[in-house]
Amino acid sequence: MSTTDLEAPDDTSPTAAAAANPLAQFVQGPRGAALDAYWMPFTANRQFKKNPRLFVKAQGMHYWTDEGRQVLDAVAGLWCVNAGHNRPKIVQAIQQQAAEMDYAPPFQMAHPKAFELADKVAQLTPAGLNKVFFTNSGSESVETALKIALAHARACGQGQKNLFIGRERAFHGVGFGGISVGGMVGNRKIFGPLLGGVDHLRHTHDLARNAFSRGVPQHGAELADDLERLVALHDASTIAAVIVEPVAGSTGVLLPPKGYLERLRSICDKHGILLIFDEVITGFGRLGAPFASTYFDVVPDLMTTAKGITTGCVPMGAVIVKNEIHDAFMVGAEHLIEFPHGYTYSAHPLACAAALGTLDTYAEEGLLTRAATMESTFADAVHALRDHPHVIDIRNIGLVGGIELAPRPGEPGKRAFDVFLDCWEQGVLIRTTGDTIALSPPLIIEPQHIERLVGAVSAALRRVA
């Protein structure tokens, strides 16, 4: 891999960074007033606005703050910047597309790059998953997949199949479908009765048996049998689909026990239930293979993706479905719309250009399998934190690491958040969910970056009470 474009630009002085920052007038002015209007998503707004953390520039493995500090990105932005920041080929692709054609309506019209991209994505996915429906985010991909599953059952004359099975501790985005099949209490409890007709499998997190596993944990494949319990309760004839993340990130880096996904697949097959893998974070190389389905060699019926499809630089998502699912819709009069669903910005030209540039970059630099090459260096470094204060588990797979801390009594999540703030002060961006530190660096990471990020977490863990 050429690293020339990944090196730090030399204008890292605060003045240069501020000059490049159109927001500088706000952040350097009376912060309280200027930061007031923006209601930030999934953010402790009041805490943030007292001491804002602002990025104004990015390149390769790093961000730069409005104060000119360089920050190592240990989470690929938000699990999305898999190719690293501001890669030239991708920047150029977006710039060219913006100059050439800004927008094309995706309903009853199209543009060539949408087809080119769908074809390239289909070539990366497991055999048989060849039909690509574009969205703008992971949440939209999840809503789309759930709707395809329901409409597919109906198209097959099985309209009574309208229940979904999700899993406890799952995150499937923030749409009403996604939070319904999801299993994060904090994201559900304030939003009313949600989607009807949803039940949940038990989650697979088992510290008693699996703490400090390297790679997938050994114990827990039998938890897939929980699906048999739900089938016995609801009857297979009422269940449209099961949706799971092959590896869950947002709920604390939860890995599937060895054999679990295979067992889920075979129970779904036995009962004629569709299996949806939510690959929003595992898609596009995170585990060391193009998709988790490739990695585990378990093929779902539908896959939801987003994030890495454009390496995060333009919003985009995609649902990839088995041919026969798509084909079940292609009946009736030809002038009729087969699936009444889609978004104004589905297959947006800028997103398609960005995605094509991204896939080229992945291919040229072997990034979709690079996590496999880096996995053992990364795992060694992360597991070296085992004896640090408060650490109760460490988990890893591909370029994903989870470090779970014992919560402070009466303050769940606070200890990990303090570690996050400490790392931020040290110039390393990590992410925490509950009391788990989640690491998911860009796939271009080199050993010296791993050393730096684990060094920062180590120092923070020693400091934080």
What residue ranges bind ligand PLP (CB under 6 A)? 79, 137-139, 142, 171-173, 245, 249-250, 278, 280-281, 306
Residue that the structure tokens 């293979």 belong to: 289
What's the closest the beta carbon of residue 135 comes to ligand PLP, in angstroms? Answer: 9
Cβ count near 188 (within 10 Å): 13
Place of tokens 């499809």: 309
Taking the C-alpha atoms of residue 287 and residue 375, their distance in angstroms, rounded to an integer, is 9
Q: Tell me the three state secondary structure of residue 402.
A: strand
Q: For CA atoms 121, 127, 131, 133, give the dihedral sign.
A: negative
DSSP reduced 3-state for 20: coil
Question: CA 133, CA 319: separation in Å to the nearest integer?
Answer: 5
CA–CA separation, 355 vs 305, rounded Å? Answer: 12
In whole angstroms, the minimum distance from the beta carbon of 175 to ligand PLP comes to 8
Nearest-approach distance from CB 409 to ligand PLP, in angstroms: 29
Closer CB to ligand PLP, 68 or 290, in the complex: 290
Cα 378 from Cα 356, distance rounded (Å): 29
Choice between 245 and 404, CB closer to ligand PLP: 245
Least distance (Å) between residue 66 CB and ligand PLP: 24
The residue among 68 and 285 lying less far from ligand PLP, judged by its C-beta, is: 285
Sheet holding 55-59, edge to edge: 55-59, 62-65, 70-73, 428-429
Helix, strand, or coil (residue 57): strand
Closest distance between ligand PLP and the C-beta of residue 41, in Å? 9
For the four alpha carbons of 69, 70, 73 and 77, in that order, the dihedral sign comes to positive
Q: What residues form DSSP beta bridges with 302? A: 276, 321
The smaller minimum CB distance to ligand PLP, of residues 21 and 139, is found at 139
Q: Specify whether the CB–CB gap between 429 and 452 falls below 8 A.
A: no
Residue with smallest beta-carbon separation from ligand PLP = 138
Is the CB of 97 or the CB of 144 nearer to ligand PLP? 144
- One-letter amino acid for residue 195 of the chain: L
Minimal distance in Å, beta carbon 221 to ligand PLP? Answer: 21
Nearer of residues 79 and 291 to ligand PLP, judged by Cβ: 79
Report the nearest approach of ligand PLP to the CB of residue 202 (Å).
Answer: 18
Q: How far apart are CA 362 and CA 339, in angstroms?
A: 32
Of the two residues 328 and 438, which places its CB atom closer to ligand PLP in the complex?
Answer: 438
By beta-carbon proximity to ligand PLP, the closer residue of 64 and 260 is: 260
Find out whether 370 and 376 touch, Cβ atoms under 8 Å.
no
Q: How far is the CB of 191 from ligand PLP (least distance, A)?
A: 16
CB of 158 to ligand PLP, least distance (A): 26
Of 292, 288, 289, 286, nearest in space to 304 by CA: 292
Find the shortest distance in angstroms from Cβ 164 to ligand PLP: 14
Query: How far apart are the C-alpha atoms of 88 and 17, rounded to whole Å?
Result: 20
Of the pair 106, 182, the CB lying nearest ligand PLP is at 182
* Chain centroid to CA 204: 19
Closer by beta carbon to ligand PLP, 163 or else 306: 306
In this structure, are residues 112 and 104 in contact, taking their beta carbons and an 8 Å threshold? no
The full length of the chain comes to 465
Closest listed residue to residue 73, CA positions, set 330, 444, 367: 444
CA distances from 48 to 226, 406, 408 (A): 41, 24, 21
- The distance of closest approach from Cβ of residue 155 to ligand PLP in the complex, given in angstroms and rounded to an integer, is 25
When the beta carbons of 281 and 405 are compared against ligand PLP, the nearer one is 281
Residue tagged 């996904």 (tokens): 261
Angle formed by the axes of helices 370-383 and 447-463, to 10°?
30
